[in-house]
Structure 1
Amino acid sequence: MNWNRSIKLLQVHCQGEIGKVIVDGASEIPGATILEKMNHINEVDDSLRRFVTFEPRANVAMSVNLLLPPTRPGADAGFIVLQADRAHPMSGSNCICVVTALLESGRVAMTEPDTMVRLDTPVGLIVARARCSNGRCVSVSLDNVPCFVEVLDQIIETPRWGTIKTDIAFGGVYYAIVDVEQIQLDIAPRNARELAEAGIELKSLLAEQVSVQHPEISTINEIAYVMFRGREADGAVRTCTTLKPGRVDRSPCGTGSSANLAVLHARGEIAVGDSRISRSIIGGEFLAEAIGETTVGGHPAVLPRITGQAWIYGAEELRVDESDPFPSGFALSDTWGPQVEELK
C-alpha cells in the first residue's frame, strides 16, 4: 500500500472527552506566534482542521490538538485546539490530554514524582505540573491564564424560555454560564441532546445581543460556548458545556470551570485559597482552585488552577490521499445535530 504522506495521532481522553493529539505529519502553519498560527487556520486555510475533525476520519464528540514547536521562550511545546467549528485558543481538558501525550510518549522527559511542562498557547503560557508514577501521568494541574468576569446577570431575551440570566466570563475563551433550571432541565445523560440544542440556540441569541472583546487579544471577540451550571448537595458545581454544531462536553470543562471560578470570585463566594469540584454530565471531576488575583485590562481577575487526569487509549495514522473524495470531510445532522449547516 502506497502511503506517500500520513498524519499520526495519539488517541487520548480526559474524563471521557476525546482530545486526540497530532504528533507527526501535519503541514507547517504560517505565523510567528501560536496566536498567529491559530488565526491563519481560522482566517486563511482550515484544511487541516477539517481533515482531522470531520467524517469519515472523525466524529462529533471529539477535539484534535495540533502540537507545534513553541514560539515563546522557555516553553516545551505549543498547541492549538481544533474543533468542528474552528480552531480555539485554549481548552483545559485538551491541555491535560496534550501534557499526558507529551510525557507518556517521551516527547518531554518525564521525572517522577513531578514534572513541569510549559505550553505555548494562543492565550499565553500555561504551566502544568504533572504527577507521575511508573511511567504514567496520573494527574495534571494547569495554571491557567488570568480569568475574569465581563458581566454578571446579563439579560437575554429568548423565544423559548423568556428572559434568561447569564454570567459572561473569560476562562481561556469566553463563556456564557447559565443556571440550568432556567431552561427547565437538569444536567443528566438523558438530557444531553436537549441540553446541546438549547446551548446552541442560546449561543446564536447571545451573538445577536451581547458583544465581547478581550482587552489584550483582539481576535478573541466571541462567546465560544454556553455552559449550563447546576449545584450539587456536596458543594460541587455540575457543568455541561455545549459545543457547535450541537453536542455536550463529556469532561467537567477546564476553561469553563475557570470562567465559573471567576464568577464565584466576583460574587464574593470564594477567595484565594478556596476550591470547588467541577463535575461533568457523566460524573467526571476536576478540582478548580483560586491561587491568586490580578487584573486584565482593568478587570479584576482570578488565577485558576485546574487538576484532572487523561488517558492514552491508542494511536492512529491517517492517510493523506489526493484521490480521497472527502479531503474536507463532511458532517450529517443524524449524529451532528440540526445546526450542522452552521459549521464554517
Structure 2
Amino acid sequence: MIGIAAAFPYIDTHTAGHPTRVILGGVPKLKGDSVLEMRRDFEARFDHLRGTLLHEPHGHAAMVGLIPVPSAVADFGAIFISSYVYLGMCGHGTIGYAKTLALTGAISPATGDSFTLETPAGIVTAWLEWQADGSLGAVSIRNVPAYMGLRDFEVEVEGLGKIRTDILYSGMWYAMVPSAPLGLTLDAENVSANLALGWKIKQAIAAATDGLPEMRGLPAPSVLFHDDLGRGHARQMLILAPNKFDRSPCGTGTCARMAQLLIRGALEETETYRAENILGVPFTATLADKTDEQGVTGYSVIVRGGAYVTAQGTLFLERGDPLSGGFLGR
C-alpha cells in the first residue's frame, strides 16, 4: 500500500525544444481578481510547489510550468512558473499551452481560429492554424508591446571589460548581446561555454540595473546572444541561469530583438524576422502595430512557432519522500 500525499495531473509539450508543463489539477484555488493577483497569491502561499512541480526528481532546471487560472477579461488565464523567477509572459509556453488545449479538446476547429489569454504581463492573442485532419499546426502569438528600456547601456564584466547592450522589455527584460565579437558559437556543442560567459554577463547587468526605475521592479534582464546570419535572420540563445538556457529561440525575446532591429533601423516594419535556436528550429516574427508605452514607442510583435506533445501523466508525492520538494544541481 502506497500513501499518496498529493497528485498533479499534467501534460508536457516542447516548443522548438523548450518544455512547457501544464498543470491540470492539484494546485489549490488562488485568490485574486486578475491573473497578476493570482500569481502573487501563488508566490505568497504556494511557492514551495515550484520545486515539486518542476525540479528533479519530477523534472529539471529548464522545465517551465504553466498553471491555468480563470480570467474575467480573456478566454483563458495562465501563470508561468520557472526554476528561479516568475514570468510575466512566456511565448514558447503560450504556444505549448495552445497545443495542450487542443489535446484536451478545450479548443478545436469548431471553437474558432483564435483565443485570448490573460497573463501577468497583459492580454495576448493566439491565432491557430488547424490542419486538414483537425490537428493543431503552428500558433501565432501577438505579444504585449516591446519597447526599449535602456539604450547603449554599458557595463563592466569581469574578464571581458566593458560591453554595451540594448535592454528591452517584451513581457520580461532582455539584454541584447552579439555573440561573434565574444568568440561564441551558438550551437549545441558549445552550450556550457556560452552558459558560463552569459551568466557572468547577466550577473554584471543585474548588479548595474538593480533599483533603476526603468526596470520597474521586475527580474533582472536575461542575456540574449544573437548571431546575425543576414538581414532579418539570426541564431539566438537566451541565457537564464548558470544551468539554464532557453532551448527555443525565446518567443518574448524574439519580440524584443525585432523591436530593437526596428528601432535601430536594421529592419523595415513590413519585413519578417526569422530567429532560429541552436538546433536550427525557427520562430518568425512580424510587426502588428505600434503603441505608446509610458512615453516610449511600443512594438506589438506577432511571433509564430509550433509545439509538440511529449508526455501526459500524473506527478505523485508519496508520504515520507525526503525529496518531495524537489532539488536542483547548480
| Common topology (TM > 0.5) | yes
SS in 1 for 2:270: coil
Name 2:199's counterpart in structure 1. 200
Matches within 5 A, 1:179-190: 179-190=178-189
Q: For residues 265 and 32 of structure 1, what CA distance do their matches in structure 2 show? A: 36
Name 2:63's counterpart in structure 1. 62
Matches within 5 A, 1:17-36: 17-36=18-37
Q: For residues 61 and 97 of structure 2, what CA distance do their matches in structure 1 show? A: 20
- Superposed displacement of residue 87, structure 1: 1.8
Q: For residues 225 and 111 of structure 2, what CA distance do their matches in structure 1 show? A: 36
Q: What does the per-residue CA deviation read over 1:134-190, in whole Å, with 9 as the maximum and x for residues that have no partner?
A: 231101000001110112221111111111111100011001111112322121111
SS in 2 for 1:5: strand
Matches within 5 A, 1:204-283: 204-211=203-210, 212-213=212-213, 218-219=216-217, 221-233=218-230, 235-283=232-280
Quote the sequence identity (%).
26
- Superposed displacement of residue 44, structure 1: 4.8
Q: For residues 282 and 26 of structure 1, what CA distance do their matches in structure 2 show? A: 34
Q: For residues 65 and 251 of structure 1, what CA distance do their matches in structure 2 show? A: 16
Q: CA RMSD in A?
A: 1.9
Give the TM-score taking structure 2 as reference length.
0.93
Unaligned runs of 5+ residues in structure 2 are: none
Report if aligned partners of 2:3, 2:319 keep a CA contact under 8 Å in 1: no
Could you say if the C-alpha distance between residues 19 and 285 of structure 1 is closer, same or farther in structure 2, counting changes exceeding 3 Å?
same
Q: Which amino acid aligns with 1:87?
A: Y
Q: For residues 183 and 203 of structure 1, what CA distance do their matches in structure 2 show? A: 14
The one of 98, 102, 115 equivalent to 2:113 is 115
Q: For residues 172 and 11 of structure 2, what CA distance do their matches in structure 1 show? A: 25
Name 2:8's counterpart in structure 1. 7
Name 1:337's counterpart in structure 2. none
Q: For residues 118 and 276 of structure 1, what CA distance do their matches in structure 2 show? A: 24
Q: Which amino acid aligns with 1:41?
A: F
Name 1:160's counterpart in structure 2. 159
SS in 2 for 1:19: strand
Matches within 5 A, 1:126-141: 126-133=124-131, 134-141=133-140
Report if aligned partners of 2:167, 2:174 keep a CA contact under 8 Å in 1: yes
Could you say if the C-alpha distance between residues 4 and 208 of structure 1 is closer, same or farther in structure 2, counting changes exceeding 3 Å?
closer
Q: For residues 7 and 176 of structure 1, what CA distance do their matches in structure 2 show? A: 35
Report if aligned partners of 2:109, 2:130 keep a CA contact under 8 Å in 1: yes
Give the TM-score taking structure 1 as reference length.
0.89
Count of residue pairs brought into register by the alignment: 327
After the TM superposition, which of the residue ranges 94-103 and 37-46 deviates more from structure 2?
A: 37-46
Matches within 5 A, 1:92-111: 92-107=91-106, 109-111=107-109
Q: For residues 3 and 142 of structure 2, what CA distance do their matches in structure 1 show? A: 44
Q: Which amino acid aligns with 1:120?
A: E
After the TM superposition, which of the residue ranges 315-324 and 252-261 deviates more from structure 2?
A: 315-324
Unaligned runs of 5+ residues in structure 1 are: 333-339
Q: For residues 40 and 177 of structure 1, what CA distance do their matches in structure 2 show? A: 32
